Structure 1
Amino acid sequence: MGHNHNHNHQVQGKNLLFSILLNVVITLAQVIGGIISGSLALLSDALHNFSDVLSLVFSYVAHKLSRKKASLDQTFGLKRAELIAAFVNASTLIIVAFILIYGAIERLIHPHEIESELVIWLALLGIVVNGFSVLLLKKDADKNLNMKSAYLHLLTDMLASVAVLVGGLLMLFYQIYWIDSVMTLLIAIYLIVVGIDLLKKATKMLMLFTPEEINLKELIKEVHKIKGVNKLHHIHVWHLNEEELHLEAHLDCSEDIKMSEFNIVLHQIEDLLLEKFGINHINIQPEFKKEDPKDYIVQD
């Protein structure tokens, strides 16, 4: 059995807390402004911002739980909490999108005049606040799916505010009030696209799929080049979380070697898998002419 620990970027949660506070402020402002102005796009943006507050809180709690130490009852700790948060947040993005679509279609059928100046000012506020939050989380989003889910909520909010601003300007200067509903529809479509992509990634990790970046056939080919290796089989490769990529397998040795000699082979395998494939947790069962299936993938 071998374990290589290679945790690069440690995500910090303090930026999430600040983003939560900013989004609480802007949500309240947009709800009040949307009611006063009659803007559906602004109320839609407020609804999305409110979902962001919930999502950010959920992401923050999951982040804290994922740092909990392993115990006898929780041998992996709670490291997969962030994957669950990413899954839930992606789902809420899609749900919110369909709520927006329903409201936009209803408003297209029954349009009414909107106080465009208030819409413009609150849209500008949304762009500034969400833009700042996006910058705060950008670095963590590149390394962590949970943070990326929170980041995408904020990014789509910023884009939504840009769309609301454009709509507000068109309403102010050209009295094109239906643009409010069209902008809402565009926001919703974008939410569905990014939400489905994030949902697929989170689902694959939760279901322990082989990571897309791992070419299993190439991995097997490289391991088989190591002296003393006969066949790697019963292979499983999966993400425990963003930072930990695991491999477990049976290794049929070419000779009946001592454990001290197997340790040398194991060390070579560990180095290869870490350097070439980024796998930092390795669990290998050594065998010699054991009577069992030798297929690469075996249903346990």
Structure 2
Amino acid sequence: MTLEKKATVVSTSVAGLLVLLKMTVGVLSGSIAVLASAIDSFLDLTVSLFNYFALHNAEKNPDESFHFGRSKIEPLAAVIEGSVISFSAFFILYEALEKIIHPHEMQYMMESFYVMLASIIITALLVAFLIYVAKKTNNMVIRADALHYKTDLLSNGAVLFALAAVSYTGEQLIDPILGIAIAAYMIYSAFPIIKEGVLMLLDIALPAEDIEKIDKVIKSEPIITNYHYLKTRESGSHIFISYHAVFNVSISLYDAHLVADKVEAKILALFPDKKVHVLTHMDPYDDSEINEDEEQW
């Protein structure tokens, strides 16, 4: 089992444990903040299960149906995860407004406090593990999961503060007001996850700094007299790069191919944590102006 899959198994197990703890105390106490956190953990459980499925399928080799593999399942999973976070935030917002309109007193304050304290400790350990895996693998799904649980860590801290504040002051409105703040932060944190996933599904080009590095690698090869039509896209853990290299008309195909292989090796070295696919079109002369209309993007 890969490290990424192990990470999703751990996050799923932790989410399942937190759902049982928070849902029990949330229902008994009547706290909107605790109940919101329980719902969020249930969605975490669902998303983590989906992430495992996504990673399992994204790792499959290309076949007759998917010539380029299934790597786009990763950004699709990120979009779904961000959407789930947003929908749960709107539900929490609704519940908080409902409690402001129809207030009721919270129960089992100490039990709720200790459950949320335990949740913070467990979630903090999980976040540290996911961040480690994300840095080691640079996997988009794990990065989204790490960010997701990081927002959970902050929201759990806010819930803990709400419980302490309500217990100390007796003001029940603190609970729904903080629930609204948690919902707003969840929507704010979900936006970059959704945006990155959507842009990747739309085949957005690599960042300008990466394209500049590729440009320097190609230009560093003296036998290549010029190049054009450099195109890039990222699909999960895969990067696809294509370009037209211009050679002297007298060079043999064999020698041109050796140069292209050399350039490809240098480009692959730029992205050690990614699976890079480089396609070099070898031109005996610069045909960029002749084929300009055909190569527009």
Structure 2 Cα separation of the partners of residues 129 and 24 of structure 1: 12
Structure 1 Cα separation of the partners of residues 293 and 240 of structure 2: 16
Q: Which residue of 2 aligns with 1:12?
A: 4
Q: CA deviation at 1:123?
A: 1.0
Q: Which residue of 1 aligns with 2:262?
A: 268
Q: Which residue of 2 aligns with 1:286?
A: 282
1:299 paired to 2:293: no
Change beyond 3 A, Cα 1:63–1:289: same
Q: Which residue of 1 aligns with 2:32?
A: 40
Does the 8 A contact of 2:226 with 2:286 survive in 1? Answer: no
Q: Which residue of 2 aligns with 1:160?
A: 155
1:137 to 119, 123, 130: 130
2:93 to 89, 93, 101: 101
Q: CA deviation at 1:159?
A: 1.8
Q: Which residue of 2 aligns with 1:171?
A: 166
Instruction: Tell me the SS of whatever aligns to 1:13.
Output: helix
Q: Which residue of 1 aligns with 2:120?
A: 127
1:118 to 111, 116, 122: 111
Structure 2 Cα separation of the partners of residues 140 and 46 of structure 1: 25
For residues 135-284 of structure 1, what are the structure 2 equivalents within 5 Å?
135-142=128-135, 143-212=138-207, 214-216=209-211, 219-220=214-215, 222-242=217-237, 244-276=238-270, 280-284=276-280
Structure 2 Cα separation of the partners of residues 215 and 145 of structure 1: 17
Does the 8 A contact of 1:70 with 1:77 survive in 2? Answer: yes
Q: Which residue of 2 aligns with 1:7?
A: none
Q: Which residue of 2 aligns with 1:4?
A: none
Deviation string 1:267-293 (CA, Å, 9 cap, x unpaired) is 332244234566832101111236554
Structure 1 Cα separation of the partners of residues 161 and 10 of structure 2: 28
Structure 2 Cα separation of the partners of residues 40 and 90 of structure 1: 22
Instruction: Tell me the SS of whatever aligns to 2:225.
Output: strand
Does the 8 A contact of 1:234 with 1:297 survive in 2? Answer: no
Does the 8 A contact of 2:7 with 2:142 survive in 1? Answer: no
Which amino acid in 2 is paired with 1:150?
D
Bigger Cα displacement from structure 2, 35-44 vs 173-182: 173-182
Instruction: Tell me the SS of whatever aligns to 1:229.
Output: coil
Instruction: Tell me the SS of whatever aligns to 2:4.
Output: coil
Q: CA deviation at 1:170?
A: 0.8
Q: CA deviation at 1:194?
A: 1.7
Change beyond 3 A, Cα 1:276–1:33: closer
Which amino acid in 2 is paired with 1:166?
F
Change beyond 3 A, Cα 1:23–1:296: farther
Q: How many percent identity over aligned positions? A: 22
Does the 8 A contact of 2:217 with 2:263 survive in 1? Answer: no
TM, length-normalised to structure 1? 0.87
Higher relative contact order (CA 8 A, sep 6+): 1
Q: How many residues align?
A: 290
1:55 paired to 2:50: no
Q: CA deviation at 1:23?
A: 1.6
Deviation string 1:143-179 (CA, Å, 9 cap, x unpaired) is 1110122222222222221111111011111112211
Deviation string 1:189-222 (CA, Å, 9 cap, x unpaired) is 2212221111111122111111225453564355
Does the 8 A contact of 1:251 with 1:286 survive in 2? Answer: yes
Structure 1 Cα separation of the partners of residues 134 and 195 of structure 2: 16
Give me the CA root mean square deviation: 2.5
Does the 8 A contact of 2:58 with 2:72 survive in 1? Answer: yes
